[in-house]
Amino acid sequence: MKTTDSPRTYRVKSFGCQMNVYDGERMAELLEAKGITPAPEGEAADLVVLNTCHIREKATEKVYSDIGRLVKSGAEAGKEPMIAVAGCVAQAEGEEIMKRAPAVGMVVGPQAYHRLGDMLDRAVKGERSTDTDMPEDAKFAALPKRRKVSPTAFLTVQEGCDKFCTYCVVPYTRGAEISRPYSELVDEAAKLVDAGAREITLLGQNVNAWSGEDAKGHTLGLDGLIRELAKLPDLKRIRYTTSHPNDVTEGLIAAHGEVEKLMPYLHLPVQSGSDRVLKAMNRSHTAESYLKLLERFRAARPDIALSGDFIVGFPGETEAEFEETLNIVDAVGYAQAFSFKYSPRPGTPAAGMENHVAKEVMDERLQRLQAHLGRDQYAFNKASVGKTCDILIERRGRRPGQWLGKSPWLQSVFFDSELQIGDTVRAELVHAGPSSLQGRLLEQVAA
Ligand code: 5AD
Ligand code: SF4
């Protein structure tokens, strides 16, 4: 690699989950602290960070085609950008990327990106580097202070996963479960609120496995952290995602009934409705134990909106087993859900299992599952019509004069009134569509 001028502009492209969105924002802040500014829309950047996802599909191939596209357009413009590959593909395939893609100057894993600045200094001198360590040193403490944020902010409280579901690559790419310290999180949340956040979503691969210690040395679970953050006067809403059924505590369920700022929404993946499949997935819960958990959440907060993740076509899944997934969907009545075709991930136990399900069968099952989920989402939206609630305005809609916010149940609600980002408005939900609602403004609550 040749020596090069220091980059003046950057672009971070994040793929995949909300944790990647958070990491992408932190990398952007780190680059800005070095005086590098975001590339204007439509203009080529001097430095491109591809913040990748490895969870499904041919994610790796997508990274190579993105790199190819950047090299080609750079060559046409007479200046190739510096390229950094970050995220879970970097972690899983770092060495391979370095070998296959000479245009890539930096490969940095999700636990090491606080060192991106040093890597960049080396790249300017013409040195390529890979950092996929999972160091003990505090990544978060090494990152620059948070800048101005949108009214809805993410806060990563926990990373990694020890569950080893047999289809999943996360325990390998994100490493073992770790919780960020309580005082650091309370501090960061307060700064986010000072910078304009009105809603904070606590993030973690297994967010409800978070544990910490307060100043008195008492052990706290996620509910303890939520109760503390709820004391921040200007913070209006708290959410968390993603949870695992095995880490649900009585305290967390109770918090849904007691903490007003904790939104009535729960994302609790089940993956399948068949106990045989759940066992093969190493999920350590059954369809029945999952349903019982949901009953307890509903007892604490009757209006709670439920969301989940589903995989169709796990190796060996029969038609009858798939129908058990449809049955659990019908039994729950999800307000929203995410559903995927099983995708073999290299190095995971399921990839080596027998009886992989044919692609056409998976396609057909996914369609049937999504028909049930779509029906239930629409039903949930229709049942919300007539309700009055607070909406936090997040952005403009596509039509001129249109604004979009989220209901407490995480539904998208459109308005045709003139509003501002960060407004909280009292509204009546007047019309339901399959994936959004129309709101009627009643009054402004607070900015
Ligand atoms: N194939 C398909 N879906 C997967 N997920 C995780 N790994 C795979 C895989 N190999 C889904 C799960 C998880 C969500 C984040 O992605 O449903 O909850
Ligand atoms: Fe993956 Fe299972 Fe961990 Fe979720 S709980 S991140 S699906 S291993």
Calculate how far, in angstroms, residue 185's C-alpha sits from the geometric centre of ligand 1. 28
What are the pLDDT digits (tens) for 108-160?
Answer: 999 899 999 999 999 999 999 999 988 766 788 788 777 667 899 999 999 99
Torsion angle, alpha carbons of 18, 20, 23, 25, to 10: -70
Sheet of 265-267, strand order: 265-267, 305-312, 336-341
Could you read off the pLDDT of 53-80 as tens digits, one per residue? 998 876 778 889 999 999 998 888 888 8
Among 206, 242, 283, the mutation site with the greatest number of ligand 2 atoms within 8 A of its Cβ is: 206
Any ligand 1 atom below 6 A from CB of 56:
yes
- Please give the radius of gyration of the chain, using alpha carbons only, rounded to the nearest integer: 23
Residue 297 Cβ contacting ligand 1 at under 6 Å? no
- Closest ligand relative to 315 C-alpha: 1
pLDDT score of 205 more than 70: yes
Please tell me if the CB atom of residue 168 comes closer than 6 angstroms to any atom of ligand 2.
Answer: yes
Residue 271 Cβ < 6 Å to ligand 1: yes
- The pLDDT tens digits of the residues spanning 406-434 come to 999 999 999 998 899 999 999 999 999 99
- Interatomic CA distance for residues 53 and 350, integer angstroms: 19
Q: Is a pLDDT exceeding 90 seen at residue 437?
A: yes
Q: How far apart are CA 398 and CA 310, in angstroms?
A: 30
The residue whose CA has the least distance to atom 2 of ligand 2 is 165
Does residue 32 register a pLDDT over 80? yes
Q: What is the DSSP letter of 398?
A: S
Q: pTM, whole model, 2 decimals?
A: 0.92
The pLDDT of residue 11 is above 90: yes
> Is 165 near ligand 2, meaning CB less than 6 Å away?
yes
Smallest CA separation from ligand 2 atom 5, residue: 163
Distance CA 159, CA 176 (A): 8
Distance (angstroms) between ligand 1 centre and the Cα of 340 equals 7
Over the chain, what is the mean pLDDT? Answer: 93
